[in-house]
Structure 1
Amino acid sequence: MGTVFWESPFVLDPPPAAVERHGDVDLHVPAGDGRRPAVVVVHGVPGPPEAPDARDWPLYRGYGALLAEAGVLAAVPRLTVASPDDLYAVAARVAAAAELLRADPRVDADRLGLWFFSGAGLLLGDWLRDPPAWLRGVAATYPLLAPLPGWPPVDPRFRPVDALDPPTGGEGARVEAPQVEGAARPTLVLSRAGRERPEVAPTVEAFTVVARRRGIPLCVVDVPNGQHGFDALDHTEESRAAVRTARDTLLALLTAP
């Protein structure tokens, strides 16, 4: 991603939300009183080393405001990845951000969602493999859903497709994914860019095929003319509609009985 990406404005213009910085986590707080649902916004990783803190990008400030506009308290943790080994620490920070939200008296602790972007899609596996009962929905926007060719070895934990269809260890052999006691798999709201990067698109396609074959709840939001990062780079009505649809679909999951 070039500098233009992290400096580009968000495709929508929601009213700014109040932002509270709690260490490495920003909270975007909706107006009003009472307990409300919450979402952890998991920004793309790794970011270019010269990029500013992703929490300050117009893109993620925009998503925080967009969720707050709908009455959702959003947490955006700061995440840094320099090597595959850093994914363990990043995964722990995402889980900690969720617990920070659940402990906040302004939040309904039983109505949380997670929204992953770009390379953060590698973190999806934990939440699909063993979802907590409070996880009402998951969104992924132009996600990377498998390590790229040429990467150093990556723990299978960070291969989301294996969370749906785990290998046995034999060549090509697979076993049934374990059933989760007391919690159904959350619906995944998947936003796909029609002009996705050629190295990312096959990972999305492979994941989608397995998810549908396994009956995983999946809601696909297609952006036929969108590129990777369409929500910052493609200021079109198609992009704006896709972002609204993803937000509203996730919101419906959070507020369902």
Structure 2
Amino acid sequence: MPQPSGKSLILPVDPVAPDTRGPLDLYLPSTAGPAPCVLLVHGLYPEQPEVTPRFSNFYREYASHLAHRGLVAAIVDHDLTRGFFYQEALATVRDAVDLLRAAPETDEDTVGMWFFSGGGPLSYPFLIDPAPWLRAVELTYPVLPGADTPAWPPPEDAIAGISAVPTLLTLVENEIPDYIAGQRSFVAQASNAGVPLDVRTVAGVGHGFDATTDVPHARAAVTEGLDWMAAALKSPRSFGRM
């Protein structure tokens, strides 16, 4: 297995060694018994990266933090590592969730999904008529496509699912300009629909801040995202089904 490399998360962590299960790397907590689990869904790489997400310090450190919070964290390399292959990436992510839920260390009925950057569109199919096992969704500086995206669900269908699944959207003040309109439209539609989308904006930072901007309030934002996921998965379900 390649050694981890690439950019690191700004929030230091005692690394957890991954347990490889085919295409999936699991980061296991020290506690015994089936635990809530989280799949980390990486973003888009227009060309094959030298270091894929499974072997990057960045995602491994996110997964280690989640494991230290008592969760099983998982990383998979999906098809967006080779360009704009969203349908193929969705199939890979669906298979990864099935593998994660089937692992004996996980509670198959308590699953979170955390989507980053260009992986944001992959959240829509999971939020539409969400499965009972989907207990939390995070979106970190995501691409959020509009209704005119060919062959993809419209945002309003995904937004409706937030009524059943707690969802945290983390935005950055200095976002990539092409992403801003989609993010603002998504937030506005959620507000108009009255769904409980939790939106937090990190001031003074840009896209990918969690690997590039090591300042106290940025570290705090990373901690809040990790703590939010742990709390959402460990708390009794409070959201009703639609």
TM-score grouping bracket, smaller chain normalisation = 0.7 to 0.9
Q: Which whole-Å CA distance do the structure 2 matches of 1:126 and 1:187 have between them?
A: 16
Deviation of 1:51 (Å): 3.1
Q: Which whole-Å CA distance do the structure 2 matches of 1:216 and 1:59 have between them?
A: 31
Deviation of 1:23 (Å): 2.4
1:156 — aligned with what? Answer: 152
Q: Structure 2: where are the runs of 5+ without partners? A: 237-242
8 Å Cα contact 2:125-2:158 kept in structure 1: no
Q: Which whole-Å CA distance do the structure 1 matches of 2:79 and 2:158 have between them?
A: 26
Query: Aligned match of 1:204 in 183, 197, 200?
Result: 183
Q: Which whole-Å CA distance do the structure 2 matches of 1:244 and 1:121 have between them?
A: 20
* TM-score, length basis structure 2: 0.88
1:240 — aligned with what? Answer: 219
8 Å Cα contact 2:47-2:83 kept in structure 1: no
Structure 2 residue 132 is the aligned partner of structure 1 residue 124: no
Structure 2 residue 166 is the aligned partner of structure 1 residue 187: yes
Q: Structure 1: where are the runs of 5+ without partners? A: 1-5, 166-176
Deviation of 1:235 (Å): 0.9
Structure 2 residue 71 is the aligned partner of structure 1 residue 92: no
Query: Aligned match of 1:216 in 174, 195, 200?
Result: 195
Cα displacement string for residues 126-184 of structure 1 (whole angstroms, at most 9, x for unaligned residues) = 1111200011110010000017x9xxx63123x5x14247xxxxxxxxxxx6xx7xx95
* TM-score, length basis structure 1: 0.83
2:51 — aligned with what? Answer: 52
1:97 to 1:46, Cα distance in 2 relative to 1, 3 A = same
Cα displacement string for residues 175-226 of structure 1 (whole angstroms, at most 9, x for unaligned residues) = xx6xx7xx95211111101111111111111111111111222112210112
Q: Which whole-Å CA distance do the structure 2 matches of 1:83 and 1:61 have between them?
A: 22
Cα displacement string for residues 6-39 of structure 1 (whole angstroms, at most 9, x for unaligned residues) = 8222111111112012222111111131111000
Q: Which whole-Å CA distance do the structure 1 matches of 2:145 and 2:163 have between them?
A: 23
Q: Which whole-Å CA distance do the structure 1 matches of 2:14 and 2:190 have between them?
A: 36
Q: Which whole-Å CA distance do the structure 1 matches of 2:193 and 2:39 have between them?
A: 26
Question: Which AA in structure 2 matches 1:44?
Answer: G
1:50 to 1:132, Cα distance in 2 relative to 1, 3 A = closer
2:209 — aligned with what? Answer: 230
Q: Which whole-Å CA distance do the structure 1 matches of 2:40 and 2:219 have between them?
A: 18
Note the 1:140-151 alignment, pairs <5 A: 140-146=139-145
8 Å Cα contact 2:9-2:211 kept in structure 1: yes
Aligned residue for 2:177, secondary structure, equals: coil
Deviation of 1:238 (Å): 1.4
Q: Which whole-Å CA distance do the structure 2 matches of 1:186 and 1:58 have between them?
A: 29
Aligned-residue identity in percent: 33
Q: Which whole-Å CA distance do the structure 2 matches of 1:239 and 1:248 have between them?
A: 14
Deviation of 1:123 (Å): 0.7
| Runs of 4+ in structure 1 over 6 Å off | none
CA RMSD in angstroms, aligned pairs only? 2.1
Q: Which whole-Å CA distance do the structure 1 matches of 2:49 and 2:15 have between them?
A: 26
Q: Which whole-Å CA distance do the structure 2 matches of 1:8 and 1:127 have between them?
A: 29
Q: Which whole-Å CA distance do the structure 1 matches of 2:102 and 2:131 have between them?
A: 15
Range moving further from structure 2, 45-54 or 240-249: 45-54
